[in-house]
Amino acid sequence: MAMASLSNPITYLPRTRLGFSSSSRGHSFLNPKKSRAIGRKTSLSFTTVCKAVSVEPQSEIEGLNIAEDVSQLIGKTPMVYLNNIVEGCVANVAAKLEIMEPCCSVKDRIGYSMIADAEQRGVITPGKSILVEPTSGNTGIGLAFIAASKGYKLILNNARINEHGKASAVQSIWSRTCGTISGVGHFLKSKNPNIKVIGIEPAESNIISGGKPGPHKIQGIGAGFVPRNLDLEVVDEVIEISSDEAVETAKQVALQEGLLVGISSGAAAAAAIKVAKRPENAGKLIVVVFPSFGERYLSSVLFQSIRDECEKMQPEP
């Protein structure tokens, strides 16, 4: 299909790729008959004949970058500098936008990795195996879209578990909590041992820092226990962020930077800003991961103030 625009009336692709054939050689779709006088209308005749084309995916059609399936869209997310929320910082702060994954979360990566790994080991087979995962969050969403694209049936259970279920849950969820910092930390330090890796946990449930578990509002972190997949050897520091600070920072990231992010992204941004204000970090680059998109938290405390404001609105007389 040709795309027309005002500046370029006909944008074309070679006929051999589009499934068209013509009696004349070349790439023009139209064969205008010559007008014998200026000012007369020019008539156009089509000499193009439609032919059958292969339904097999073609990843290289005249340089077009088209993924063969949705799993190929995972990763290679962009980075962007934060410019307005970083007032008073002496270091540069850049955000890794995992909110731009196919299903808007860093857990898209692990959803694909878990299924691909099980396939390679011969544990599961598309169309035959049924996948079960104890999660109601972004891990479940990441698994769901990969399972759908590969032909698996997936059953998701609520992630609220008691003390007896914690160990099995951690085993089944390879990287729900702390997997990102462990994996990223190992890779970065293998490239540059001087890189500092900093983790974040809720101030209200600061287990890693030696505190006690407790309720908090930062979804996605602070499970109340230390998962076995957390490698503290690669973590240089852990910063505590309160729920209120995480929520407020997430709001400010949206208002000042135009990035609609989730509560855990707000916590990460708050910690990154603290680090970027340290004098010893002047001129350095602080990279923060924004794990998930804010639209997913419309029913959470992140948008509670907006909901309250809307509920109080009265129709004008």
Distances (CA, A) of 120 to 125, 153, 207: 10, 18, 36
Q: At what angle do helices 263-276 and 243-257 cross, to 10 degrees?
A: 90
* β partners of residue 292: 105
DSSP run (H or E) holding 238: strand 237-241
The structure tokens 């006909």 sit at 10
| Residue among 219, 191, 193 at smallest CA distance from 205 | 219
Q: Residue 227: what residue type?
A: P
Q: Report the catalytic residues.
A: 107, 264
The backbone torsions φ and ψ at residue 134, rounded to the nearest 5 degrees and listed phi first, read -85, 80
Under DSSP, is residue 64 helix (H, G, I), strand (E, B) or coil? strand
The separation between CA 317 and the C-alpha centre of its own chain, rounded to angstroms, equals 45
State how far the Cα of 211 lies from the Cα of 232, in Å rounded to an integer: 16
